[in-house]
């Protein structure tokens, strides 16, 4: 009886482990920054972005344009809907749907950014939420991913900037 071959190689295991370690480090940093600011961790929309960028750095939605642009576009849609309709479940649902359309239209599709309009509308977030934590957080995540993937992991990220 022949056992099936395992397609996982040591380089692949090391690559996955390095991404996991980077994800853990980025989450820890996010928690520290949230603790030191007035933004509760619950309102920081980057946990799934960290998983994507650290775990699948070659994916299109994990590239800087999608990461930063997706969060900015989605947050802008959420803030706009909040101003026009006000807070509420239907406004939040509409904002998420429109954010998906807007991300596709701007070529900034980043699925984790779909949480931004939900957080914004349901919690009636102020316009300043666009800057902190969204814009600053997305740019910090790009900087962290760049350093982690290129210096620590000795990889090559991003595959494209724009």
Rounded to whole angstroms, the Cα distance separating 113 from 103 reads 9
**Total domain count, the chain:** 1
The predicted pLDDT at position 44 comes to 80
Q: Does 71 fall in a domain?
A: yes
Question: 160 lies in a domain?
Answer: no
Q: 2-14: per-residue pLDDT in tens?
A: 655 667 788 888 8
Each residue's pLDDT tens digit, 22-68: 999 999 999 888 888 877 777 788 999 999 999 999 999 999 999 99
Could you give the CA distance from residue 47 to residue 26 in angstroms, rounded to a whole number? Answer: 9
Instruction: Tell me the mean pLDDT in the region 132-151.
Output: 95
The reported pLDDT for the residue numbered 9 is 85
Give the HSE-up count for residue 135: Cα atoms under 13 Å, Cβ half-sphere. Answer: 8
DSSP 3-state of 110 = coil
Confidence of residue 116 (pLDDT cuts 50, 70, 90): very high
Provide mean pLDDT across the span 130-145: 95
The pLDDT, as a whole number, for residue 3 is 52
For residue 39, the surrounding DSSP H or E stretch is none
Q: What is the mean pLDDT of residues 82-106?
A: 97
How far apart, in whole angstroms, are the C-alpha atoms of residue 13 and residue 36?
Answer: 35
Q: Distance (Å, rounded) from C-alpha 133 to C-alpha 89?
A: 22
Model confidence at 97, pLDDT cuts 50, 70, 90, reads: very high
Mean pLDDT for 132-138 is: 94
4, part of any domain: no
Domain assignment present for 162? no
Distance CA(92)–CA(105), nearest Å, equals 20
Euclidean distance between CA atoms 147 and 142, whole angstroms: 9
- What the block records as the tokens of 6 is 């395992």
**Residue 134 resides in a domain:** yes
What pLDDT, on a 0 to 100 scale, did the predictor assign at position 6? 63
Mean pLDDT of the chain: 92
Residue 1 lies in a domain: no
> Does residue 147 belong to any structural domain of this protein?
yes
pLDDT score of 91 more than 90: yes
Q: What is the pLDDT of residue 1?
A: 58
- Tell me the whole-structure pTM to 2 decimals: 0.90
Give the domain range for residue 53.
10-152
Give me the percent of the chain exceeding a pLDDT of 90.
Answer: 77
Place of tokens 């309102």: 43
* Contact partners, residue 1, CB within 8 Å, separation at least 6: none
Q: Decide if 159 is inside a domain.
A: no
């Amino acid at each position: 009886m022949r056992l099936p071959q395992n397609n996982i190689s040591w380089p692949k295991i090391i690559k996955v482990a390095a991404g996991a370690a980077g994800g853990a480090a980025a989450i820890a940093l996010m928690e520290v920054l949230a603790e030191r600011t007035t933004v509760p961790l619950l309102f920081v929309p980057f946990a799934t972005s960290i998983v994507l960028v650290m775990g699948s750095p070659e994916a299109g939605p994990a590239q800087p344009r999608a990461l930063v642009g997706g969060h900015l576009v989605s947050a802008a849609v959420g803030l706009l809907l909040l101003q026009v309709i006000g807070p509420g479940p239907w406004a939040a649902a509409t904002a998420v749907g429109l954010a998906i359309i807007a991300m596709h239209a701007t070529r900034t599709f980043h699925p984790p950014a779909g949480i931004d309009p939900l957080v914004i509308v349901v919690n009636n977030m102020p316009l300043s939420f666009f800057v902190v934590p969204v814009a600053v957080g997305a740019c910090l995540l790009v900087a962290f991913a760049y350093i982690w993937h290129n210096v620590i992991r000795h990889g090559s990220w991003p595959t494209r900037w724009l």
